Structure 1
Amino acid sequence: MVSSNSVAEHVRSVHAIISRPQRPAGHELVARSWLRCFHELGLDPAAEDSLPPLAPQAWRERGDRLGEVMDSAIPEMQTLHRQLDDSQSALVLADAEGVIVSIVRHPGFAREASLRGLVEGARWSEDVQGTNGIGTVLAERHSLVIAGEEHFFARHTDMVCAAAPIYDGVGEAAAVLAVCSLAPGGARALRALIERSARVIEHRAFRARHATDYIIRFHAHAGRVLTAVDGLLALSPEGEVIEANHIAFELLSPEGEALLGREVTEFFGQSLPELLSRTFRAGFHPLALSMPQHQTWHLLAQQPSRTRAQSGTRASDSASAAQALAELDLGDLRMAGNVHSAMRILDRDIPLLIAGETGTGKEVFARAFHASSQRARGPFVAINCASLPEALIESELFGYKQGAFTGANRDGRRGKVLQADGGTLFLDEIGDMPLQLQARLLRVLEERKVTPLGGENAVPVDLQLVCATHRDLRAMVRDGSFREDLYYRLRGMEINLPPLRERTDRRSLIERCLSEESAGRHPPVRLGHAAMNVLDRFRWPGNIRQLRYVLRTLVALCDGPEITLRDMPAEMLDAPEPLPPAIVAHEPVHENAAVPSAPPSNLNPLQSAERDALLGELRRHRWNIAGLARELGVSRNTIYRKMKRLDIDTDAQVGDGF
């Protein structure tokens, strides 16, 4: 806590600043807030007391009023809390009046957080807590960091708070997401993470709220469409704007012009039926619309989720049944096949097994599968079988009753299986599960019941199972280290995620990841051409996880709007060229195979390599489009779109002797 000497020194600093006719450069925001606190609100920087928190019923009602924002925030906060891995921080969601309605923190920080008022029901508006991350965001209407002595009250000067607003569909702040930490440093990185998560929550809530409306997703940059930083418009059947997200207000109404109630034609030059028709003809890929004044919009028009609306259920993450999965398809044929296969087993109670190298996005795919299903409003519970000691895996999975073993929690504990009831259980690195537990897991899957350790009665459980591994489970079955019966029970559908170095959509993926990692930056960060080439040719042994870490670091360290070669790590500048990306890797090239035809001059090297690979597959299938589509698990239209984009004419088969 703050010493009495520090309190006195801070009070003198506050009085010195608010009494100056001119504010210190670079601290105008803090000075404005201090003036509000002192002159308008009559606060004393040395005050120690604060209002008691609201009663549980009162703050829970406030949380319920947030509706889709609350639903979308809970899983994102849990994910961000794991990412922060800070035992001295609390991640909070507050409503538009600064009242905390949800909090995630390390168990060891619970007492300290309570002493500091970081509890549900506590009010953190400026009139109660002075200058602070939550209250000052509500006053200033943009993300910020209040660190140490920038707080108005001396009692808060040992904290750092990064916060970002979550906007509703009419341009007002509906809530605030914030992280308050006692750990010094890292404020800039905290702000970037909070901004990104706030945009994700805002996005999900908007799309869930408008599941019964037409949605336009757009941006000036093609790579930002279908990400957490694209503009969203909810439209009536007549094409009038009902609501818009914060990005849409920034893009279409930078000077504060009226946006709601206007016709979509005013912004994009085409009616809603025309945009829907063009989106359908483009295979649900973003359109490029050239407007006057040299403005180009990249846009996707989406139908309402009528099935869910008619059944009375609210979609939790998208305006179309499988939108979260569809967003994973950026153009790579193998990923398109994976997405297509996963869509076909949605809500059919078929287990999904995801294989792939470490870092290829197995958990991201699993979360998208969950978000696209009818279980989207239920919990998504993940457990890494490789990260827990063997002695703890059983109690973590199945839970235990009071007194089940020495050191057990006095009240017992629900296991991950029961926590996932009504939702999805994700078992990561399933190949590392001890052999003796595999038999018990198999019994749970077959009986749909779980018996906690020390318990006598089996508890029914209803869940979707998704497993992931980087191991060769079939080889493990052959050598006896993995049960054969469990393997066939888990692989109702098996998909294999390609490593990043082999994906043909690397550039699109890099652009999307950069947009997500730089969400909230003004001006937005972009990649210079040379820097993009470096990232594209790198072999990425850590796959997408490594890519995200690299981009996150580049965004945090970049001082300007563009990442250049000067910002790149030395080891990436010296990296060798990767192997050409392959569409499939299981078929060898024969000596008498036809030499790929010369690619058109308008294709870049990556597209040329993709064209050669697709031509090879077409020739192997003797230009049987349907056969190739079946093997890859995609539609024939997907193959035809690829052929058109890569300038492959069906007349080319004549030269192959077919």
Structure 2
Amino acid sequence: MVERHHVDEIAQVLDGHATGRDSYVDASWRRCVEIYGMDPTRRDPAHIVTDAEFRTHREQADWMIGAARSCLQNLFRQVAGQNYVLLLTDAKGVCVDFFGDDLFLDDLRGAGLYLGSNWSEDLAGTCGVGACIVTGEPVTVHQDDHFGNAHTDLSCTSAPIYDSLGQLAAVLDISLLRSPSPKSSQNLAMSLVMAAARRVEMANLMAASRGEWVLRFSSSPEFLDVDPEAAVALDGSGKVIGATRAATRMLSGGRNLIGAPIDSLLGLSVDDLPDLMRDRPTEERVVALDDGGAVFGHAIAPQAPRRMQKVNHALQKRAQGWFGGALAGSDPTMSRVLSQAERLASTSVPLVICGESGSGKTKLARAIHMASRRRGFAVLDCAGAGPEDMREALSAQSGPTTLLLLRIENLSSETAQLLPGLLDAHPDLRPVATSGQSLTPGASREALPSELLFRLSGSVLELPPLRERQDLGWLIDRLLSRRSGGEMRLTPSARAELMARDWPGNLRELGNVLDVACALAESSVIDLPDLPAASQARKQEQDLEAVLDACNWNMARAARRLGVNRSTVLRRIRKERLRAPD
């Protein structure tokens, strides 16, 4: 009778009638029938991944498990004796960590409240974890809120955990095999799981940002130093390179903060951060918000670099993705390219990344792979690669795989003929190619057969050369800080020289120049004599307007970058009828 009533209620929702349930439950029921083709009368058991699949999910989520473990232990102690079980799932809904009472392990396994269970909505139907992944918000799916009859005894309250770049990374779920009937009985569980998720995000941000400034916030001075509500990580120039979800909502209404200067969000600059450290009383550390309000702030200075901290930081960045503050500052062209790459990363669209040598094509390709959450990764350098090299690169790959094709313009005709067949034979393969040749409209495309080119270039991402980027100063500061641990700085004349160079070798050349300068400098200050000579290689044809934009239409600086006189720049401006933006 209860099952019949449940099925009838789902039918009402499909007919467009209101049930009085939360809107996310009604929406999930519709998806279960209309998209996933599920039958509410069936009692399907929990879906458990294979041991091999579980190991893969666990390894990929290892960084999040480490950040969450202490918070989960504390939460489990808070609910001890109340028969709750805690699940930490990855962003795909697979349980990778678990806390529960040993007395009920058999019942928990039977209900799928255990390691390896997959609670994604398309497999489990309406459930706490699945609805949380779809909505990105905390939810409670209580008893017959669940779609499948097998789960209508459960009560599941879930909260999302976002990484420091704003991507959904995990879900924290607190569940009961049986609970009191009113859904309001889980209000305390909701408060607890949301607070725990917030603390996990905070722990992850702190672990990933030991070498950066971190600014933490609280609406109350009493909890500022011990349990802050939100936090952002900042690079040396004051741009946001990481944020907790609460900080994103507090400072920008939910819009991504990555790359934003802190002084555009708060009434302070990076130079004001030392005034917010612990040597001042908490009630005096007031930070003005953009909307006229105020919070209390706690600034934590970058820690001295240690080898293990660098390793952990690299692992965190690789797991979370590299978009935003890791690859670019406030350059509009790079921001547009990275925004496109971030949206395309989780799709199966084949990509070609174009740009001059050293402009960051391979780094962006690896960032796309990490953000795609694909398990396999194969690399083939097309320069001199034959058919056997192609087959060997794919021989050990299974499941969703990224195939990185370096320098695709150098692919031999024989291998180019083989590639379409290999792509057909591996439907889970997603090709991401790099090219030193432009594939924008009007560019030469004679290097590859047009059929293969169209097959590979579902979308083309064009990286600008360094001389056209408006964030050159930011890149110099970031690369120098990485190489010196924040201990080296440039004199104004050395900085002006670096800003004026043409950089035909792009990021690779800039990194090499800074390495030499750090080695030659006799103190922590890098001056003109410490800089190696500029490369003589120079482009004959350059986009004058792009160079002028990168130099904010400073004629003298543009002339130095182009290696010509200021009068030559003025003549070209008149000839090309260019006008400075308002």
Question: TM-score, normalized by length of structure 2?
Answer: 0.49
Larger relative contact order (Cα-Cα within 8 Å, sequence gap ≥ 6): 1
Question: TM-score, normalized by length of structure 1?
Answer: 0.44
